[in-house]
Amino acid sequence: MFVDQVKVYVKGGDGGNGMVAFRREKYVPDGGPAGGDGGKGADVIFEVEEGLRTLMDFRFTRHFKAQRGEHGMSKGMHGRKAEDMIVKVPPGTIVTDAETGQVIADLVHHKQRAVIAKGGRGGRGNTRFATPANPAPEIAEKGEPGIERDIVMELKVLADVGLVGFPSVGKSTLLSVVSSAKPKIAAYHFTTITPNLGVVAVDEGRSFVMADLPGLIEGAHEGVGLGHQFLRHIERTRVILHVIDMSGMEGRDPYEDYCKINDELRQYNMRLTERPQIIVANKMDLPDAEENLQAFKEKVGDEALVFPISAVTRQGLKEVLYATADLLKVTPEFPMIHEEKEEGSHRVIFKHEKEESGFYITRDSDGTFVINGPKIEKLFKMTDFTRDETVKRFARQLRSLGVDEALRAKGAEHGDSVRILKYEFEFVE
């Protein structure tokens, strides 16, 4: 089964906890703090594997959680860093954040890597908190939580040549006779519902990858038929082979087919019309094909590259393959489709912006004040509430961020309940 889009959950490893420990050796009075730092959590890294062609594996494994770092130890020993989680993906995979839609990585080349979810840093041991005023602190941090997010993985097939055209014009038959690929071939529309790839060998040691893609119909750019499921794959191809049924056996005019398909490509992405295109006039072994070809050439003009073939009898295949290989030689290696950049003068304006507080306060129906925000939640998760000194440090951190003042501004009074995540505290003046 070909899978070209999937949603998965990834989480970087949490950092290891720092340790509270003291040096206790004979003849070393007041040895001082000796708690080590925790190790860094593992990153979730996606790496391109050339042999993969589908996202099928991600259909069954949708959660990727990296290991956490080792905890700090006594005698000032730091915890070991966790080994990164390497996840293999096929070339042509685009990774986007499911919530924001931001592109995280566009993975194209073999062995290319991208960090999708970063692991948290290790918590500091009490050695780090020693000061002249407090030479024996009982303060240590928990490890920083790793980044967690839902991502959408989208596969755009990487092929040198893409076959486009209406359903049942002979694209699958053409691929089957010029390569070793074995696509399903039948006399009904949408026989091909997933892309098929084949390696086409040309003389003189030249070869290229050809993709047989699902047939297009009117409205495909709006998602009609297989719509976007097809069009996302044509973006990556370097040369387009436009296959047309020149016999007109299904009652369609070849020139109208040609115009409609090009219009769908233009509507989906204007840059696709700039891609080099070869017109393959197929089914020339059938009646009326020669007459239709002459009329077609008059309408498209002399600039278009038109090659009459018959995929069934293999007539004209050699010429079109040579022309395709020659065109690939002068076409850029990997044309990416980017948004048009606005031209003109640009100025950079610097202006002072108030730094965001990093938290916000709401109130539940039961009167409890609820504090949310990434900065507050991160501090909370890295605090060890089993030790009084760390609790006092957390209170000082909240005060320095302005949480106390914000609570008073919201109407909080002595004895009111305050909640952070699932834990409740009492507001004390």
Binding site per annotation, positions for Mg(2+): 172, 192
Task: Say if CB 163 and CB 321 are below 8 A apart.
Answer: no
DSSP 40: P
- Burial class for 51, CB neighbours closer than 10 Å (0-12, 13-18, 19+): exposed
Phi/psi for 416 (5° steps) reads: -70, 150
CA distances from 18 to 42, 47, 127, 227, 320 (A): 17, 31, 9, 53, 67
d(CA 81, CA 70): 6
CA of residue 421 relative to chain centroid, distance: 30
- Burial class for 103, CB neighbours closer than 10 Å (0-12, 13-18, 19+): exposed
Q: Which two tokens stand for residue 89?
A: 């993906």
Q: Reduced to 3 states, what is the DSSP secondary structure of residue 7?
A: strand
Binding residues: 165-172, 190-194, 212-215, 282-285, 310-312
Q: How many residues does the chain have?
A: 429
Binding residues for GTP: 165-172, 190-194, 212-215, 282-285, 310-312
Task: Say if CB 242 and CB 280 are below 8 A apart.
Answer: yes
Q: Which two tokens stand for residue 12?
A: 């970087």
d(CA 163, CA 321): 13
Task: Say if CB 264 and CB 326 are below 8 A apart.
Answer: no
d(CA 210, CA 320): 13
